[in-house]
């Protein structure tokens, strides 16, 4: 019987302590302030083009329902813009290379071609 009374008193003390902590806790200044949302700790570098390591190291902070959409949208927009820029640069370089190959092919033929049927301008025989 003594053990039962001890358990009842201990339970009452625990319930009272929890109730005081929940209801009477705080310093009387009101509710807790809103927590600042987590932001992306290591954003993508603004001063240089992205590299594979930048994308591999990209980690988004968790939010209530997954990731913060602003952070993900910003990162994806940046990656998409850089990929479009690289694609345009590659296309320009490929067209310049194709033009150089085409121009060089005709120049090689013109520079090394000698018509054996006609004498050159300086040859009068």
Q: Kindly provide the b/e burial profile for residues 14-50, where b requires at least 16 CB atoms within 10 angstroms of the residue's own CB.
A: eeeeeeeeeeeeeeeeeeeeeeeeeebeeebeeeeeb
Condensed to tens digits (0 to 9), the pLDDT of residues 93-103 reads 999 999 888 87
Structure tokens at 99: 């033009």
- CA-atom Rg of the chain in angstroms: 38
Separation of alpha carbons 13 and 17, rounded Å:
6
Residue 31 pLDDT: 66
Structure confidence at residue 109 as a pLDDT band (50, 70, 90): very low
Residue 108 pLDDT: 47
Structure tokens at 15: 């319930």
Condensed to tens digits (0 to 9), the pLDDT of residues 76-90 reads 999 999 999 999 999
């Amino acid at each position: 019987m003594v053990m039962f009374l001890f358990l009842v008193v201990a339970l009452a003390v625990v319930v009272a302590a929890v109730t005081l902590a929940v209801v009477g806790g705080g310093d009387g200044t009101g509710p807790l302030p809103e927590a600042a949302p987590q932001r992306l700790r290591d954003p993508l570098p603004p001063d240089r083009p992205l590299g594979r390591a930048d994308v591999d190291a990209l980690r988004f902070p968790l939010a209530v329902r997954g990731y913060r959409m602003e952070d993900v949208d910003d990162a994806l927009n940046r990656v998409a813009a850089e990929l479009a820029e690289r694609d345009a640069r590659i296309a320009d370089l490929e067209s310049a290379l194709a033009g150089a190959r085409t121009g060089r092919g005709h120049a090689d033929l013109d520079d090394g071609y000698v018509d054996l049927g006609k004498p050159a301008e300086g040859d009068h025989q």
